[in-house]
C-alpha cells in the first residue's frame, strides 16, 4: 500500500461500524490512505472498493479482533506502512440486564470497551513515541462520565478507557504524540437502532467523522464532545449529590 502524498496513513480499529466507516470516509476524502481493521475483514471488500473509487486513495482492510490480545503485537508489526493516525472505534454496548446475571456477557462488554482498546492503543503509543510523532484517537462515551443504573457495566468500561486515554495524553505530552478522547453521545447507528434517543442529543455518524477529522487537524481540544450540549448535560448529572443521584433511574 502506498501513502498519499504527505498525508499520514490512517488505521481505523473497528472499521466495520457505522461510526468507523464515517470517520474513514472523512479521512479518505481529505486524501489520507485508510486501513479498515475489523473481524471478518474479507467481507469489507465492497466498502473498501467503494471508498477507494470514490475518493481516489489507497484503502485496505485488515483482520483484527480486539478480544484476541495475544495477536495484537503481531498485528501492529505487520502493518505496512505504519499508520501515523490510529482511531479506535471498537466497542460493544451489550445489554445491561444480561451483564447483571451473566459473567461472561459482562466480561465481554468490559474487555471490548476497555481492555482490548487500551492494550492495542498502548502498543501504538510505544511506536509513535519512539519515532516522535503520531496521533491516537480513542472513541469513548459520555456513559463513562458517571455510572448510571441503565448501563453501568458498559459505562464503567468506558470510564476506564477515558482514564487510560487521559493518562496516555499526560505521559506523551511533549513527545510529539497527540492523544484525543472523543465522546459522541447518542449516535444514530445500528447499535442504537430501536432506542428512543432525543433528536437534539443524537448525532449522525458523519458528524462524528467530521469532528474527528477536525480534531486531528488541530481544530479542537483534546477531549471532544461531538455535540457540545453533552458537556452541559453530563456536567449537571456529574454534579448531582450522591444522595440525590441514587434515587434517580437515569
Question: Any alpha helices (H) in 111-249, and if so which ranges?
Answer: 116-131, 152-172, 205-216, 229-239, 242-245
**Given phi > 0 = left and psi -120 to 50 = alpha, else beta, which region is 40?**
left
Determine the Cα–Cα distance for residues 248 and 250; give it in Å rounded to an integer.
Answer: 6
152 has catalytic annotation? no
Q: Which residues of 150-174 are buried (b: 16+ CB within 10 A; e: fewer)?
A: ebbbbbbbbbbbbebbbebbeebee
Cβ(153)–Cβ(100) under 8 Å? yes
Q: Which of 39, 110, 106 has its CA nearest to residue 71?
A: 39
Q: Out of 114, 152, 154, 225, which one is annotated catalytic? A: 154
Show which residues are catalytic. 154
Amino acid at each position: 500500500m502506498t501513502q498519499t502524498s504527505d498525508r499520514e496513513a490512517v488505521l481505523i480499529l473497528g472499521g466495520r461500524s457505522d461510526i468507523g466507516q464515517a470517520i474513514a470516509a472523512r479521512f479518505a476524502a481529505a486524501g489520507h490512505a485508510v486501513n479498515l481493521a475489523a473481524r471478518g475483514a474479507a467481507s469489507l471488500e465492497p466498502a473498501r472498493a467503494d471508498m477507494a473509487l470514490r475518493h481516489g486513495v489507497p484503502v485496505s482492510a485488515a483482520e483484527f479482533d480486539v478480544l484476541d490480545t495475544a495477536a495484537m503485537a503481531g498485528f501492529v508489526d505487520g502493518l505496512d506502512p505504519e499508520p501515523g493516525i490510529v482511531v479506535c472505534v471498537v466497542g460493544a454496548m451489550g445489554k445491561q440486564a444480561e451483564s447483571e446475571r451473566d459473567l461472561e456477557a459482562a466480561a465481554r462488554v468490559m474487555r471490548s470497551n476497555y481492555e482490548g482498546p487500551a492494550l492495542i492503543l498502548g502498543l501504538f503509543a510505544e511506536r509513535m513515541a519512539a519515532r516522535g510523532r503520531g496521533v491516537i484517537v480513542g472513541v469513548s462515551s459520555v456513559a463513562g462520565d458517571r455510572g448510571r443504573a441503565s448501563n453501568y457495566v458498559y459505562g464503567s468500561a468506558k470510564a476506564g478507557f477515558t482514564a487510560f486515554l487521559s493518562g496516555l495524553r499526560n505521559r506523551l505530552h511533549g513527545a510529539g504524540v497527540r492523544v484525543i478522547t472523543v465522546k459522541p453521545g447518542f449516535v444514530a447507528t445500528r447499535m442504537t437502532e430501536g432506542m428512543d434517543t432525543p433528536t437534539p442529543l443524537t448525532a449522525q455518524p458523519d458528524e462524528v467523522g467530521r469532528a474527528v477529522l477536525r480534531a486531528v487537524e488541530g481544530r479542537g481540544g483534546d477531549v471532544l464532545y461531538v455535540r457540545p450540549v453533552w458537556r452541559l448535560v453530563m456536567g449537571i448529572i456529574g454534579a448531582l449529590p450522591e444522595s440525590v443521584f441514587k434515587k434517580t433511574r437515569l
